[in-house]
Chains A and B, each alone.
Chain A
Amino acid sequence: MEYEIREVLRGENFFKFRGKELEEARRILKKEKFIRGVKGGKEVFVYGNGSNRELFKRLRKIINYGREVKYISPEPLKIEEEKRERLSELKSLFSRIQEVLEDRKEIEVYFYEILKDVKMKSKNGFEGRYIQKYYKFYILLKGEKNGDLIQIGSGRNSKKFSEFEKSYRKFVREYRKLPGRKGLPYKKNILFILSPLSAFSLFDSLIYRFFKGSDVVQKVSFLFDKLNEKIFNEKICILNDPSDEKLTNSRPFDDEGTLTRKFYLVKDGIIGGFLLNRENANILGIKPNGCAYFLPKMGMMWENYHNIKIKGGKDSIKILEDYILLRDSYFDISPSGEFVITCPLAYIFKRGKKMGYVKSFQISGNVFHILSKNLEFISREKENFGNFVVPFIGFKDVKFI
C-alpha cells in the first residue's frame, strides 16, 4: 500500500480588545494528522490525532471502499526546521496595542497570531516540512455614526501594526468630518471605484467561483473551455505566488506534497491557468501546480490559491475627479457571473475631494463585463491584505438597486 502522512500542529493565539480593555484571550493548539492510503488504485483517508498504528489500522479497514485514482506522485523535497516562538513573546506587542487603544472605547481590535507547523512524508521518499507564522489585525470601528467592519490589514510581523495604527487614525479623522447622505448621487455613467479592500472581495469570489480545478473539470465553471482565451480586459493580470515571503500564505509544497509554483491565472486578460490538485490536473492532461488543500471539514482534497497579486496600472488614484469609492463591500456572484455588491460604506468624490459618504446600498452587474468592456481604471497604488495584493479598480455601467 502506498501512503502519505501529513501532520499539522496548528497554534492560534487570539486576543480581542474593546477600547483598551482585553475582552477575550485564547490559545488553541491542535494536532492533526491525516493519512492518504492508496492500494490497488483505491484511495481513502483517515484523519485524527491518534497514533500512526491506530490510524493505519483504520485505514486498512476502509480501504476497500475507496475509489480508483490515478495521479502523478510528488517529487522528493527537504525543508529545514525553524524554531517555534513562545507565547510570552507576545507580551511586548500586547502592551503596545493597549497603549494605542487608550481612551478609544468605540473600537474593537482583533489580533490573531497563527502558527502552522506542517510535516509530510510519503512511502515513495517524499519528506517535507514548513512552518507558517503570521499575524492578523482587524479593527472594528463602532459608534453612533456606524457599525461597519473596517479591516485595516494583516502581515507577517508585528512591525506592521504601526502602519495599521497610522491608517486607522487617518481614517477616523477623515470619517468624522464628513457629512452623511441619504441617497446615492447615481447617474448612468458614474464611475464606481472599488477600494483595494472591496477589490479583494471581488477577486476572491471570482477565483473561488471560476478557477477551481474541480469546477473546471465538471464544467460548472463557465471558464472550463476558455484556457488561453481572452476573457478579461488586457489590463487584468492575476498572479498566484506561493513563494513571496512577505505574504502570509507562502508554502513550498501543497497538501499532496506537490511543489508549489508561481503562475498566472489571468495574464493580459487571457486565461492562463486554474488551481489544480493532482487528480484534476491529470484529468485535464496538464501538470499539477501545487494548489491542493485538504479540507478536514469536508474530508476531501480541495483546491485553493496561495497568495494573489493583481497587477496595478500606470496611473495614480489621485488623478480621478468625480467618482464613488466603495470602501468596504461584499460580492455575491452567481455561477453565470451575475453579482450583487452590498456596500455598507461609500465615499462621494467631486473634483478629487471627498465630499461625503453614503451607507448601505447595493449594485448589480456581471463580473465578466466589469472586468472587460466596462473596466475603466486600475490604480498604481496597491494594498496588501496578508495573502492578497490588490489595487483600486474602476468600472461603469452597473445597475443601482
Chain B
Amino acid sequence: MENWKDILYKEIKRLKNTLYSDVRLDEREELKISFEKEVIKSVVQEKSIIGGVRVYKSSGYGFASFSNYGEIRDALKNAVYLADFYRGEKIKFKEMEKVEGDFTYPSRNPPSRFKIQDKFEFIKNCIEEIFENKFIIGISGTYLETKFKRLFTNTEESLILQQREEIIFYMQIFAGKKDLREKYLVYYAGRDFKEFKNSINVQIKKAKDYLSELIKSPRIKTGIYDVVIDPYLAGVFAHEAVGHLSEADIVFKNKSMEKIFYIGRKIGNKLISIVDDGRNVKNLGGYFYDDEGVKPEKVYILKEGEIYGRLHSRESAAIMGENPNGHGKCVQASFPPIVRMSCTYIEPGREDKESLISSLKNGLYIEGNMGGWTEIETFCFYPLRVWKVEKGKIKHPLRQVILKGNVFETLKNIEGISKDFIMQGIDCGKGGQAPLPVSYGGPYLLIKNMKVCGE
C-alpha cells in the first residue's frame, strides 16, 4: 500500500485543474465459507486490488474504475471524458480540511489471527448442532471474512489509509412438516471472532428451541394489532423506514420527497428521537473518516418527533447548500460514494420492557428481523420471532408474519419507549452497493395499530 500512496498522490495531481476529483483504492482479502444442506459447500479465498477515479468538472461526475497499475491512466482519461458530458452549472463544493493519516479499526480478536481450520470446524459444529432438531429440513449460509485497506486521496491533497477486518455470517434455516415450511435466520456482523462464536452459539440454541415450538404453532389472522417490538426490530425500523428517507440524495433527487421529508415537519409523537452517529469506531458502522475524507458527525434525524437533520455526502451538501457531515460511503472502490448511514438508533425512553408488554390486551410481542424493504412511505418487514400476548402475558409463538405499513402513521402510533438499549452490527444495501457494514439499534417500542399479514 505504501507504493500505491506515492502512485496515487502523483496521479491525482494530473487532475488539479478539475473542479474536484478523488481516487480510492482497495486492497482486499476475503475468505468465504459457504454451506448448504448438511455440508460445507465451498471455501473461497479472494485477493484483489480495485480502484476508482471520480472527476467533477461542472454539474456532475465522471467515474471510472481500474484493477491494476497499468489501467490508472486509462481510468483517469475515461473519468475526465465522462465528466465532459455534463452541461449544467458548476457544483460549489465546500472546501474541506486536508487530512493525512493511517487509521486501524479496533478489534480484540480480529478474524485473520485465527486459523482457517478453526473457522471450518466451528461452522461444521454449528451445522451438526442445528440438525439435531428433527424439524430442520435445510440450511444455507455463508461466513464472509474481509480484511481490507482503503486508500483515499483527492485534489485537496488529503491522503488517508484506513484498515479494518469484518465478519458477516448468516445462516438461513428451514423447518418443515408435511407441506408446511418456516424460515429462520441466524446472523452476525462485527469485527471480533470470539464475539462471533459466542453470538452464533446463543442464536443457534434459541433457533432450535423456537422452531420446535413454531412448527406446531397456529397462524394469526391478517389484521390490525398493537405490538411490542424488540431493540433489533426497532433498529431496523429506524434504519430502513426513517434513516433512508433522511439520506439527502433521496431528498434532493426527488421533488415529491422535498414535500414529504422537510426539516421541521412533525411526523412522530414527542417521545421519539432518531440519531445517526458514526463517531464511535467500536461500533461496526462507525468510522474515522468517510470515503470522501470527511469526519462523521452526530446527526439528529428526528428530534422529539420532528424532522431535524439529514445525512450528507459532499455532493449532496453542495447541491443543497448545507454542510457535509461525513456520510459519503462506497462499498468498494469500484463504486462512487453515495449518501449512507453509519450507526442509526432510536434514543431510549423511560419505561421498562415488562410494562410495555403488560399493557397489551390482545397483541403481539415481536423480536428480530429477517429482511424487508421500504419504498418511500411504505415499509415491509419479516420479523424473526412472534408471540401472541393476551391480557399482558406472552402466550405462544405464531407462524411467520409480515409487518406492513406507512412510516409516518407508524411513527405517530409509537406510544411507549423502554429504557433498555441495544446496538447491533448489520449490513446494508443501496443503489447496488452491498454489503456495507452499518449499525442500528434502539429500545423496546410499543406500537399501536400495526398491520400484520398472517393467514
Contact = CB atoms under 8 A, between A and B. Distances in A.
Interface of A: 18, 21-31, 34, 43-50, 54, 58-59, 61-62, 65-67, 87, 94, 106, 108, 142-144, 146-147, 214-215, 217-220, 222, 296-301, 330, 332, 334-336, 340, 342, 344, 360, 362, 364, 399, 401
A65 B42 contact: no
B32 interface: yes
Contacts of A334: 181, 183, 400
Contact of A25 (B61, B142, B400): B61
Contacts of B128: none
Nearest to B49: A49
A399 B455 CA distance: 10
Given A44-B43, A65-B116, A300 B62 contact: no
Given A340-B453, A401-B453, A27 B65 contact: yes
Contact of A26 (B45, B63, B179, B253): B63
A62 B45 contact: yes
A146 to B, nearest CB: 8
Contacts, number: 199
B174 A49 contact: no
B129 to A, nearest CB: 17
A31 B404 CA distance: 41
B42 A31 contact: no
Contacts of B415: none
Contacts of A340: 380, 402, 404, 453
Contacts of B451: 401
Contacts of A362: 404, 453
A25 B82 contact: yes
B41 A220 contact: no
Given A25-B60, A28-B65, A399-B222, A143 B34 contact: no
B142 A335 contact: no
Contact of B37 (A18, A106, A218, A297): A218
Most buried by B among A22, A50, A54, A217: A22
Given A25-B86, A26-B336, A301-B41, 7 more contacts: A21-B87, A22-B86, A27-B82, A48-B46, A65-B117, A218-B138, A330-B373
7 tightest A-B CB contacts, nearest first = A299-B32, A218-B138, A335-B181, A299-B44, A26-B63, A300-B34, A25-B82
Contacts of A342: 375, 378, 380, 404
Most buried by A among B36, B44, B377, B404: B44
Interface string B103-116: 00000000000001
A43 B254 CA distance: 49
Interface of B: 30, 32-34, 36-37, 39-50, 52, 59-68, 71, 75, 78-79, 81-83, 85-88, 116-117, 120, 137-140, 142, 144, 174, 176, 179-183, 222, 253-257, 334-336, 373, 375-378, 380, 382, 400, 402, 404, 435, 451, 453
Contact of B179 (A22, A143, A298, A336): A336
Given A299-B144, A336-B181, A142 B63 contact: no
A129 to B, nearest CB: 20
Given A21-B59, A49-B48, A218-B138, A299 B86 contact: no
20 contacts: A24-B60, A24-B61, A25-B62, A28-B63, A28-B65, A29-B67, A46-B44, A48-B46, A49-B49, A65-B117, A65-B120, A67-B40, A144-B256, A147-B376, A299-B34, A299-B142, A300-B36, A300-B44, A364-B453, A399-B222
Given A220-B181, A401-B453, A22 B85 contact: yes
A215 B137 CA distance: 10
A299 B140 CA distance: 12
B44 A142 contact: no
Contact of A45 (B44, B82, B87, B182): B44
A164 B435 CA distance: 33
A297 B451 CA distance: 34
B334 A30 contact: yes
A298 to B, nearest CB: 5
Contact of A65 (B41, B43, B180): B43
B255 A217 contact: no
A84 to B, nearest CB: 14
A360 B402 contact: no
A62 B45 CA distance: 8
